[in-house]
């Protein structure tokens, strides 16, 4: 992309960048809220009940819930139409042959 005084960004590129940045902002805000909630739960659970087993269980469940929500949020916001393995073309036969030749050469060189 050319940079200069007359350079103009395409509207489609601009719109896709705005959508991506908006998604990233929403993701950051929600992740910050989940981690803040996790910290608050841990702080107030310790004041609520002094048994260590209760504090441990509540802290573990709270931390795992925050991680689970982070992963779910990532999977929802960053979905694509197909997985990379479905969209990628298989390697050519010559590429596979070269890879197998290199592996056999390595094996014979290391056994000598």
Tell me the domain boundaries of the chain.
20-79
pLDDT of residue 60: 92
Supply the mean pLDDT for the chain: 77
Q: Are 16 and 22 in contact (CB under 8 A)?
A: no
Determine the angle formed by the axes of helices 52-77 and 11-48, rounding to 10 degrees. 170
pTM: 0.56
Q: Are 46 and 29 in contact (CB under 8 A)?
A: no
Q: Are 43 and 74 in contact (CB under 8 A)?
A: no
Give Rg (Cα) of the chain: 26
**Predicted confidence (pLDDT) at residue 103 exceeds the cutoff of 90:** no
Q: What is the mean pLDDT of residues 26-32?
A: 91
pLDDT of residue 9: 77
């Amino acid at each position: 992309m050319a940079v200069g005084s007359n350079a103009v960004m395409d509207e489609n590129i601009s719109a896709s960048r705005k959508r991506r940045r908006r998604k990233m902002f929403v993701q950051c805000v929600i992740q910050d809220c989940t981690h803040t909630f996790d910290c608050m739960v841990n702080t107030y659970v310790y004041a609520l009940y002094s048994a260590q087993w209760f504090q441990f269980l509540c802290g573990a469940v709270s931390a795992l819930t925050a991680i689970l929500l982070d992963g779910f949020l990532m999977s929802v916001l960053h979905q694509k139409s197909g997985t990379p393995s479905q969209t990628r073309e298989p390697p050519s036969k010559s590429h596979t042959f070269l890879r197998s030749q290199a592996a056999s050469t390595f094996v014979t060189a290391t056994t000598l």
